[in-house]
Amino acid sequence: MDYLSSGFSDIDHSNDPSFFSSCLVTLNSLPYFQDYKRKSFDLMNARVGSRVLEVGCGLGFDAIALARIVGSTGRVVAVDSSQTMLEAARSRTENLGLPIEFVLGDAGRLDFDEGCFDCARVDRTLQHIPDPEKVLTEMSRVTRSGGCVVAYEPDWGTFVIGSMDRPVTRKITDLWCDTFRSGWIGRNLYGYFRDMGLEEVQVYPSTLVITDLNLAEKVFDLSKNAEKAMGLSLVSRSEALGWLEGLREDNLRGKFFCSYTGFMAYGRKP
């Protein structure tokens, strides 16, 4: 079975790649994600003629936005480890005439010269990578002196679900966090940016709140994770089913609530 928390790290070998694509489309449609993405573009200081690196491009939504910013004299290089995602991104952009190059590659070993980009960005990709610091170090290496590195990542230790059943909720939210390769990456971005020697390091928190259970299922895989917790004997069948039923009842009463906090980090290369 495919899970959002673990499956993004190897989409090409998933049972149903469209499951992950559907999630990305949903996220891209939400105002929260649109807002922080715009902020990240501003922080990058991308402008007409800029050479931009996008790490973990997915379906290509952000590469398209950046290409429109840099214009015909600029260049966006969008890297992803998934051939499936790259094919979808290329299909999405093939008739747009934008200056985008899609590249299959390992973000921990970027095949680019030192200092060849004006800025570099990664968005919700490091959470799926076991050594995110290595990726950030590579991004800094290929960014020119004076250029910017920007990263946005969730911190799944901040994931909360409104439920009266605290023990079961804790077990399921902890399981969700722990099945990401780097579930605490959000809180570690500041330290990584400082360790890399970046200057003017800033971190900006923002919180996503969802009060509709159907949307939360698409974003957080709640039912699947309850089933997984049951399969791992973290909770009993009756506990898992009772917990899910409680969420459904809360949703019917207009009381459903869940949220997480993400962190955007900015740094300038000396």
pLDDT, residue 106, reads 96
Read off the pLDDT of residues 173-191 as tens digits, 9 standing for 90 and up: 999 999 999 999 999 999 9
Per-residue model confidence (pLDDT) at position 177: 98
Domain containing residue 143 = 4-157+181-207+262-268
* d(C-alpha 128, C-alpha 81), whole Å: 11
Q: Is residue 72 part of a domain?
A: yes
Domain assignment of residue 167, yes or no: no
- CATH code where residue 26 lies: 3.40.50.150
Q: Within a domain: residue 149?
A: yes
**Is 165 contained in some domain?**
no
- pLDDT number for residue 2: 87
Does residue 199 lie in a domain region?
yes
pLDDT at 1: 85
Task: Report the domain count for the chain.
Answer: 1
Report helix angle 237-252 to 213-220, nearest 10.
Answer: 130
Contact 63, 94 (CB under 8 A): no
| Cα separation, 251 vs 211, whole angstroms | 8
Q: Is residue 117 part of a domain?
A: yes
User: Is 91 among the domain residues?
Assistant: yes
**Prediction pTM value:** 0.96
pLDDT of residue 115: 98
Q: Is residue 58 part of a domain?
A: yes
Encode the chain in three state secondary structure.
CCCHHHHHHHHHHCCCHHHHHHHHHHHHHCHHHHHHHHHHHHHHCCCCCCEEEEECCCCCHHHHHHHHHHCCCCEEEEEECCHHHHHHHHHHHCCCCCCEEEEECCCCCCCCCCCCEEEEEEECCHHHCCCHHHHHHHHHHCEEEEEEEEEEEEEEEEEEECCCCHHHHHHHHHHHHHCCCCCCHHHHHHHHHHHCCCEEEEEEEEEEEECCHHHHHHHHCHHHHHHHHHHCCCCCHHHHHHHHHHHHHHHHCCCCCEEEEEEEEEEECC
pLDDT tens track, the chain, 270 positions: 889 999 999 999 999 999 999 999 999 999 999 999 999 999 999 999 999 999 999 999 999 999 999 999 999 999 999 999 999 999 999 999 999 999 999 999 999 999 999 999 999 999 999 999 999 999 999 999 999 999 999 999 999 999 999 999 999 999 999 999 999 999 999 999 999 999 999 999 999 999 999 999 999 999 999 999 999 999 999 999 999 999 999 999 999 999 999 999 999 999
